[in-house]
Amino acid sequence: MSLHNTVHLSSVLDRSTLIGLLAQLKTKRWFPFKSDSIVDARLVDAVPETIGDSESAIVIVDISTTSGGSTIVITPSAFDSSQFGDAVENGSISSFMSLLATDGAVSGSNGRIVIQGPYAEEFQSYMTAHPVITPLNVEQSNSSFTVGERYICKVFRRPISPHNPDFTVPVKLYTKTNFRNIPRPIAQLIHEPEPLLSVVSIQENVQNDGDYWRYFLELSKDLIGRFTHGRKAVVEDIIEEMTSAATELAVTVAEMHRALFSIDDPGFGHELFTSGDITRIKRRYMDLASAMRRTSISLSINGRIYDSIDFYDLIRNFVDNFDFSPLYEVEKIRFHGDLHLGQILRTTRGPIIIDFEGEPLRGETERSSLGCVLKDVAGMTRSIDYALSFYSKSDTLLASETRKISLKLRDVFLKAYFQKSSDLPTIPRDFRDFMKTAAYYEVEKAVYEANYEMNNRPDWIIIPARALVETLSGSGSFM
């Protein structure tokens, strides 16, 4: 395709061109249906509709695949030297952001994108004066870039409605409570009128020393180094540092949940668990188990080979015999939904929690619904186990040592969280019931992780798989 100077996107982005453009993006972490072929692609909108060399547009595409999957994706596109490129990766999205900052809205071929939010005008003024865009070269399920040093923008590659929890939850926390362990939410870019989509969220760019995933990973690496060099006896200082961090994180997560419990606006509030909720929990759990059963897993764990049927049987037997009755005294609230070490930044202000959009595999309704805060708690304890297991995942002896430390840190986190939250109806009031219910959510999270890793990072599946085997078969169990 030969393009010159000015491009009318609705004219050139036909089906075959879109399929070719999207095929180049299949290796990206955010791209859905990696194992499928794209059979159809339809341009929903291009904003703005006309661009020139080194300019960019937000391109919204409806795709269909060989498996029957269908979804809308966002691909910020740039035109330069007669070809298209990713506008976030090459920084040319600055042309689109400058247009938006000037007018507050940019029209496309079938709609427009507008900026809305409590600090939208503040951002527009800053963007006009500091139009310097820097892409963040990190592999994640969305794409991010900074504007100057003050703001960070996230492009939702698989957009949902403007009720997007990644924006609405921080706004409620910031405007309705005193909880400040989050970046200040600024605004979001919305495509309207149809489809009504949250395209980009904008928040304060908090200066930080990286996230807690990298922090725990480095400590874990040091730990493994001491083990492998015969210095097992001198790991207590590392474990003490991890213990201190786990305690601080547990307190911060508990304070976030307390703040969310206090919000009584529509879509928030709190309500008791019902028998219908328990039925849905079991159904969701078994859906995950069934998805795992359909895989071709074959893993050697603790001297035994486990295949997909073995995992399914372990998982099913667990839920069949689990006592859910403590949940009937628990109240559901809004919660983070995808909390792990990588979603918390290390800063001089203390831990800063980011990315409230929820788990990528969950639907929009589920990500915005009320639920049990122990899903967040399980996300944290499972993430700690991931960090401890990362460098030992291919070594059975080392894995056994790091698993012991992981279980100790799990207990530290859960005890600190319970101590901070035991007066709230968001968790079982009895400590033993609390620990058992937390264990259920940890198992559910591990099953979710196993499915995710099979589809995205097969080399990592041994981490949740080993945790499932050791927990559900009784060895290394916290039940």
So what's the pLDDT on residue 3? 44
Tell me which of 64-78, 152-166, 202-216, 263-277 is least confident: 64-78
Average pLDDT on 343-353 reads 98
Phi, psi of 478 (to 5 degrees): -110, 15
Segment 42-47 mean pLDDT:
95
pLDDT of residue 82: 58
pLDDT digit string (tens) for 105-134? Answer: 999 999 999 999 999 999 999 999 988 999
Q: What is the pLDDT of residue 166?
A: 95
pLDDT digits (tens, 9 = 90+) for 393-446: 777 778 888 999 999 999 999 999 999 999 999 999 999 999 999 999 999 999
pLDDT reading at 328 higher than 60 = yes
Q: For residue 31, what pLDDT is reported?
A: 74
Across the beta sheet with 38-47, the strand order is 38-47, 55-65, 70-80, 83-86
Task: Give the mean model confidence (pLDDT) for residues 77-103.
Answer: 85
Which segment of 197-201, 238-242, 334-338, 362-366 scores lowest on mean pLDDT? 362-366
Lowest mean pLDDT among 70-74, 251-255, 351-355, 430-434: 70-74
What residues contact residue 470 under an 8 Å CB cut-off, 6+ apart? Answer: 301, 302, 403, 476, 477
**pLDDT (tens digit, 9 = 90+) per residue, 121-171?**
999 999 999 889 999 876 667 889 999 999 999 999 888 899 999 999 999
What confidence category does residue 41 fall into, taking pLDDT thresholds of 50, 70 and 90? Answer: very high
The proportion of the chain whose per-residue pLDDT surpasses 70, expressed as a percent, equals: 94
What is residue 35's predicted lDDT score, i.e. its pLDDT? 67
Helix axes 93-103, 120-129, angle to 10 degrees: 120
Per the listing, tokens 């798989």 go with 465
Distance CA 377, CA 436 (A): 13
- The one-character DSSP state at 200 is E
* Paired tokens of 53: 């060399």
Is 70 exceeded by the pLDDT of residue 32?
no
Position 307 scores a pLDDT of: 92
CA separation for the pair 275, 233 (Å, rounded):
50
| Topology classification of domain 212-472 | Aminoglycoside 3'-phosphotransferase; Chain: A, domain 2 (3.90.1200)
pLDDT given at position 89: 86
Look at residue 432 and give its three-state secondary structure: helix
pTM of the model: 0.90
| Rg of the Cα atoms in the chain | 23
**What residue ranges do the domains of the chain occupy?**
6-204, 212-472
Residues in Cβ contact with 55 at an 8 Å cutoff, skipping those fewer than 6 apart: 78, 79, 92, 95, 96
DSSP at 52: E
Helix spans in 321-461 (H): 364-367, 374-389, 396-421, 431-456
Start-to-end C-alpha separation, the chain: 61
pLDDT at 391 over 80: yes
- pLDDT exceeds 80 at position 51: yes
- Residue 185 or 130, more confident: 185
Q: What confidence category does residue 230 fall into, taking pLDDT thresholds of 50, 70 and 90?
A: low
The CA distances from residue 239 to 224, 377, 388, 399, in Å, are 12, 20, 11, 16
